[in-house]
Structure 1
């Protein structure tokens, strides 16, 4: 925890707590996107894709998985690959809960894992040290147990711009998210077979879900574009899909 955060919690703790409780009470609870969570599509070289994480990975803010992150990534990759894809995601998961979810699944090989996790860590009381330790554990499990050849790590969104969050809670969570991202970027740089996206998911007007907290299909599209390009470059295709 930074000195700024510690001082903020001392001075504004009651305000942040009340705002957090109020925000949870008034924010609409949107469902996860409907649709299949595994499949085989496309032609070409086989590519085994795992999309995993929290409510954003589960497609909250989109009506169907086709409009959500998994569906949009798969549709792009299917132009060049035969994509066998799987989605393991659930609203409310933090890093520890995702680790426990992975423990429940039997080992099976994936070429790529697209990871989206962290917002529920930011809104918790987890420290920076605990945060990065859990990210290291997640990478270890994905690389070792599931034999993932490439982990594509999604950055935490710019929570300081989330319209659903009042001030100063928006500033406080945005600061934590930015700091967690800095730790995550350093971790990705140190680890083989890991790439962190540079996706800029600014919540522009009309692009977010109606809860003001989750992505809408337009943001999922930008996210999927960046992820598909990173994956294609790693496995022998350019962003345009040619060899």
Structure 2
């Protein structure tokens, strides 16, 4: 149990509750992206197949169509750097937590992939998912994907929520603290079970042009920025 965090949260609970409710009430709720959730860059059979799964980032919140989202932008970036044909597919649900995602994937047909990227953590942060449960759910996800994918799941670090200036203080700092706790689980799994998990740093997004109208999610330029920042690590995986 992380006692300092929970003591701080308990002391600030009335303020955090008020700020959280107000943020949900005043923040625009953007839709998930439309259009085909898959495609490819280049001709012929793909040399690599990229699959992105997760919450709102995988669902393309902040852009109109999936071809502007993270999976597509990442495939485009790798294609541009290597000249290889790169296929992409994305599967995400806005507002979902990791446990619910695992259950949903149990009945979802996903394509085979050479690279699997998980973009999760914000909803488990705001929902205070216990760390032991979050770790257990990550292992359950690894087991679920094993028949179709043998490589490590690349864990895109939980976004640094203390930098979400659209959130008021102290809410954003408490959420940032919690996000770092969950990301430490990612880092530990990547160290201790490298065959099953890898860790990718989430690039800091500060330019307003990189954010959608809600001030939280990436804009098309923001997704391109993230793809550019992590493409080298994806290529090396």
TM over 0.5: yes
Any conservation in 1 of the 2:50–2:71 contact (CA below 8 Å)?
no
Which structure dedicates a bigger proportion of its chain to helix?
A: 2
Q: 1:45 Cα deviation (Å)? A: 5.3
Q: 1:106 Cα deviation (Å)? A: 4.0
Q: What is aligned with 1:57? A: 58
Distance change (3 Å), C-alpha of 1:50 and 1:77: same
Distance change (3 Å), C-alpha of 1:148 and 1:218: farther
Q: 1:121 Cα deviation (Å)? A: 0.2
Any conservation in 1 of the 2:211–2:222 contact (CA below 8 Å)?
yes
Q: What is aligned with 2:2? A: 2
Distance in 1 of aligned mates of 2:151 and 2:144: 12
Distance in 1 of aligned mates of 2:105 and 2:168: 34
SS in 1 for 2:181: helix
Q: 1:81 Cα deviation (Å)? A: 2.7
Instruction: Tell whether 2:198 aligns with 1:195.
Output: yes
Q: What is aligned with 2:98? A: 95
Distance in 1 of aligned mates of 2:38 and 2:115: 14
User: What TM-score, normalized by structure 2, do the two folds share?
Assistant: 0.89
Instruction: Tell whether 2:123 aligns with 1:120.
Output: yes
Any conservation in 1 of the 2:70–2:227 contact (CA below 8 Å)?
yes
User: What TM-score, normalized by structure 1, do the two folds share?
Assistant: 0.87
Q: What is aligned with 1:32? A: 32
- Structure 1 gaps, min length 5: 235-243
Instruction: Tell whether 2:149 aligns with 1:147.
Output: yes
Any conservation in 1 of the 2:160–2:179 contact (CA below 8 Å)?
yes
Any conservation in 2 of the 1:50–1:86 contact (CA below 8 Å)?
yes
Distance in 2 of aligned mates of 1:106 and 1:64: 21
Equivalent residues in 2 for 1:152-171, closer than 5 Å:
152-171=154-173
Any conservation in 1 of the 2:42–2:85 contact (CA below 8 Å)?
yes
Any conservation in 2 of the 1:150–1:194 contact (CA below 8 Å)?
yes
- Structure 2 gaps, min length 5: none
CA offset digits 1:142-190 (Å, max 9, x no partner)? 2x13224242210011100112211111111000001111121111122
Distance in 2 of aligned mates of 1:37 and 1:108: 12
CA offset digits 1:66-106 (Å, max 9, x no partner)? 32211101212334332332211111111011101210124
Number of aligned pairs?
Answer: 233
Distance in 2 of aligned mates of 1:121 and 1:199: 16
SS in 2 for 1:56: helix
SS in 2 for 1:10: helix
Q: What is aligned with 1:48? A: 49
SS in 1 for 2:209: coil
Distance in 2 of aligned mates of 1:218 and 1:41: 19
Any conservation in 1 of the 2:39–2:72 contact (CA below 8 Å)?
no
SS in 2 for 1:78: helix
Distance change (3 Å), C-alpha of 1:25 and 1:87: same
